[in-house]
Structure 1
Amino acid sequence: MLTSLKLTDTGRYKCCFITDNVEKSCYVNLTVGESDVIGSDEPVKANVGEDVILPCHLEPPFNVSTLTVEWKHNKTYVHVYRSMKHDPNQQNSRFINRTSLFCDEIGKGNISLLLRNVSKEDEGLYICHVPKLHSQVRKGNITLKVDAAKHDTKQQFNESSK
């Protein structure tokens, strides 16, 4: 049994045993990294000013902590995780200090994005991408719908009492 598989564990393994003084063997090919990136088929909804989680994970679960994870919105970098930490160098200034990944979950294949203080301009298609994943599906799509009608109860009360 192999545990905590790494990409470098991919290869051909030989199992040998002796029975009736005859050596017998068999081979097993192991491919690590055949997980797909999965976004969300359903749109994620949020109100202006709220925090929202954009779900994305690998199926089956796979540790991507040593790989690069990129989040984009309209070809703009929202969040980049590289070398086992957040990399702010490519991040669009609109998203600085508003995004994070769940670092303790990345090892379990959870690459969901927390987006804080959502604005109407955050609405649209997000793509989570693991460029060097050994898989056919390296990107997941998530659509964020933002309700701009954030109601201030004091303002509503003042307007209705006029």
Structure 2
Amino acid sequence: METASAACLVVVTFLCHVVSGGDKDVWCGLNKSCLLEANFPVGDDVVIHWLKVTSKDINVHSYYYDKDQLQLQDQHFKGRTSMFKENIGKGNSSILLKEVLVADEGRYKCYVGTITDKMTSFLNLHVEAPVTKIHIQEADNKLVCSSSGLYPEPQLTWSTKPPLPHALRNTTHTSRDKGTQLYSISNLLDLAGDDAPQVDYICDVRSRSSRRLTWRNISNISVSEGETTIDCLFLTDKTNLVWMFNQSQTIVNRSSSVSENWKKQVKNVSAQGRLALHHLSSDHEGTYTCEVTNATETSVTTFFLRMADGPSQGRTHIVIGVVATLAVLAILAYCVFCKNNTGQGTSNVI
């Protein structure tokens, strides 16, 4: 049986040069199942061989004698392929490839032979790991936009709204993981100076799919009464909202739940994303970030909150000052009283 199988593969390799039709293109999602579709004229004694075309063709899946011939299958595809056996008699030679990897990308051919006919079809399998998340971080008057886990190789571009009169200074770095073969990309952008007009910075990451992130920085917010309200921009009806503090602490998550550490400070979160804060202290000075996400875009607004002396704090300072003054006067009066008593006692002794 093994000799017959090997001979069959040699015949298949020769017959595959007789091509029926042109190549088809199929895009498969990374780690998902993908249908490699092929059909043939109905006939008896069906022999099916799926091969990946390389310098030495790799057996993906074989079927004859009315059953799978998995002993011929290359180790790379073990446990990841299956045929629709109930439809083979109807001329369906398609296979399902599971848990697609970047390494699966390439050209495939399907040979089908029956008693009455033989045919070979080809398809090109392309793998896609789409852009699902863009990260942004601001520090030292620079913006870093990044994304990871992408395929095919991505591109990253910056723009502003409205456009600035000068070119944006930025540097892109792209890397590829040796194991997964997936790409990561990041770009360091110099922000415009303080004298530049207020603009939105837009980071676009494109692979086969694309995603956009818009970043806006709002001027400092000064809090004088220990409470304030911050409006989240860019909101639409179909968005997810997250509030962060100093880019590390979650205040409000995507389900609109307030984190335990911020329940004392969050007075209310409106349906429009407005964040009402109270009982604030100097510990709550820092950067507040509102991130809004929908199917294709992410929009980020940052605010720097600074505590300032307000009327109530001023009154507190005045009270403290008055109390301190009265305490000093009381001490001085007590000292004068003690001195006078001491002087009178000495005169009586003489």
Instruction: Please report the TM-score for the alignment, with normalisation by the length of structure 2.
Output: 0.31
Corresponding position: 1:54 with 2:54: no
Superposed CA offset, 1:80-128 (max 9, x none)? 1121111111100110110011001000000001000110110111111
Corresponding position: 1:89 with 2:68: no
Q: Separation in 2 of the partners of 1:105 and 1:156? A: 46
Residue 72 (structure 1) aligns with: 51
Corresponding position: 1:144 with 2:97: no
Specify whether residues 77 and 108 from structure 1 end up closer, same or farther in structure 2 by C-alpha distance, changes over 3 A only. same
**TM alignment of 1:3-152, pairs within 5 A:** 41-58=23-40, 61-63=41-43, 66-74=45-53, 75-132=57-114, 134-135=116-117, 138-149=119-130, 151=132
Residue 293 (structure 2) aligns with: none
Are the counterparts in 2 of residues 38 and 57 from structure 1 also a CA contact under 8 Å? no
Q: Separation in 2 of the partners of 1:132 and 1:142? A: 21
Q: Separation in 2 of the partners of 1:71 and 1:92? A: 11
Superposed CA offset, 1:8-52 (max 9, x none)? xxxxxxxxxxxxxxxxxxxxxxxxxxxxx8677430001210110
Aligned length: 120
Q: Separation in 1 of the partners of 2:72 and 2:131? A: 31
Are the counterparts in 2 of residues 39 and 56 from structure 1 also a CA contact under 8 Å? no
Q: Separation in 1 of the partners of 2:22 and 2:85? A: 20
Indicate the structure with greater helix content.
2
Q: Separation in 2 of the partners of 1:129 and 1:53? A: 16
SS of 1:130's partner is strand
Q: Separation in 2 of the partners of 1:130 and 1:106? A: 11
Backbone CA RMSD of aligned residues:
2.9
Instruction: Please report the TM-score for the alignment, with normalisation by the length of structure 1.
Output: 0.63
Q: Separation in 1 of the partners of 2:21 and 2:100? A: 19
Structure with the greater alpha carbon radius of gyration:
2
Q: Separation in 2 of the partners of 1:80 and 1:150? A: 35
Q: Separation in 2 of the partners of 1:72 and 1:81? A: 12
Q: Separation in 2 of the partners of 1:144 and 1:72? A: 12
Amino acid at match of 2:61: H
For residue 138 of structure 1, report the CA deviation from its aligned partner. Answer: 1.5
SS of 2:89's partner is helix
Structure 1 unaligned regions, length at least 5: 1-36
Amino acid at match of 1:70: H
